[in-house]
Structure 1
Amino acid sequence: MCLAIPAKVEQFTADDNAIVELSGIRKEISLALVDEVSPGDYVIVHAGYAIQKLDVEEAERTLALFEELYAQTGNFPDFPQTGTT
């Protein structure tokens, strides 16, 4: 099963990459598949790539659902640690 997670873009790095943040975890991802992303935007991240830009309201709704799931189960989907800063 694959899971794509909304993450907030914090800053750009070299070569079409950016640092994103999700629940305190920072990770460098590729922005090569999406256009017109700015710091502060939310993107859907899958396998180290932003695959879609997401509006703030939808991102916040989705993240709230993940938090609710965590509160009920004690399990939060793993955000890959490879490449964290």
Structure 2
Amino acid sequence: MCLAIPGKIKTIESQMDGMLRMAKVQFGGITKEASLEMVPQAKEGDYVLVHVGVAISVVNEEEAKKTFEFLKEAGELDELEPASIDQLKDK
């Protein structure tokens, strides 16, 4: 299933001479990069919904936290969990 995961923007960086805005977005204990091209108004500290590496909307903190907890309980965040040594050996 493809889901948009809520995360908090920690930092924003420009790439390609300022033409592409990328953010470091924190999802629980994991940080990943996401494009901010679809949400030009997003700023550091905002919560965004990220789908396949692209922030698709800005959401309020309360809704982001509720959604993240629901996805966690449903087991939909396994790919965001740090891999254990045993898992890495299998790959």
Please indicate, yes or no, whether the TM-score normalized by the shorter chain is above 0.5.
Answer: yes
Q: Which residue of 2 aligns with 1:9?
A: 9
Cα distance, 1:76 vs structure 2: 3.0
> Unaligned regions of 5+ residues in structure 1, if any?
80-85
Runs of 4+ in 1 over 3 A off after TM superposition: none
**Could you tell me how far apart the structure 2 residues matched to 1:38 and 1:31 are?**
9
TM-score (norm 1): 0.77
Q: Which residue of 1 aligns with 2:56?
A: 51
For residue 79 of structure 2, give the secondary structure of its aligned residue in structure 1: coil
TM-score (norm 2): 0.72
How many positions carry a matched residue from both structures? 76
Question: What is the root-mean-square deviation of aligned Cα atoms in Å?
Answer: 1.9
For residue 77 of structure 2, give the secondary structure of its aligned residue in structure 1: coil
Percent identity over paired residues: 40
- Partner of residue 36 from structure 2, selected from 31, 34, 41: 31
> Unaligned regions of 5+ residues in structure 2, if any?
15-19, 81-91
Larger C-alpha radius of gyration, 1 or 2? Answer: 2
